[in-house]
Amino acid sequence: MEIVLALLPVLLKAIGDAVEEYRQSKIDHAALAARVDQALIDAQSKLAQLKADHDARKAAFQHALDG
Amino acid sequence: MKRVSLALLALFTVACATTQIDKARQAIVIGVTVYGSGVEGLNAIDESVTNDLIKKYRNGQLTKEQAIAAYEAWEAKYTKAQKALVILWDSLKTAAHVASIADAKLGGDVTKAWGDLLAAIAAAVDALKAVGVTGLGV
């Protein structure tokens, strides 16, 4: 019991540090999650645009050969 | 004492899970960079190759058959790179979805999604480099 009481301040500090670290990681975690969401939204239409551009160029190529 | 140990164990567990989710999210950020640069690079090379073939055909440097053969050869390479980008995009969406589920403590295999995403990034980088796309940010 005496040992536990003697170690209590150390344990409380360790818990306090861990809680603070966890709280900070949650903030960073939320910022990263928001960044990922935004990046995915920005990237969403790129493949469709790539395909549209390629199809237009392919048509221009065939037109040039036919013309 | 037992409660304190349990509380510390719980904090450690949460911290480890968070790290896995963050690793997946950091890989998503890298993947989105590769994807964005890859789409732009592939589009630019597609434009350059197609215009070059049209120009050479019009200048008489290539016959119609030669131009068609060259275009088909290019399109085979283009399609391979484009497919790698589609797979990368699917992996990005899956990893983001799994990370969100895990974040909400609803399960989800973050480690697998992370591994799949890293493999898709590597495959996309290889396929894009094979057609001459550079500046992928990795």
pLDDT by residue (tens digit) across A36-48?
A: 888 888 888 899 9
**Each residue's pLDDT tens digit, B27-81:** 999 999 999 999 999 999 999 999 999 999 999 999 999 999 999 999 999 999 9
Which DSSP category does A12 fall into? Answer: H
Q: Do B42 and A50 touch (CB under 8 A)?
A: yes
pTM score? 0.75
- Contact criterion met (CB < 8 Å) for B47 and A57: yes
Q: Which residue does chain A place closest to B46, by CA atoms?
A: A54
Of the residues A54, A55, A58, the best mutation for testing chain B's interface (the one with the most B CB atoms within 10 Å of its CB) is A54
Contact B116, B94 (CB under 8 A): yes
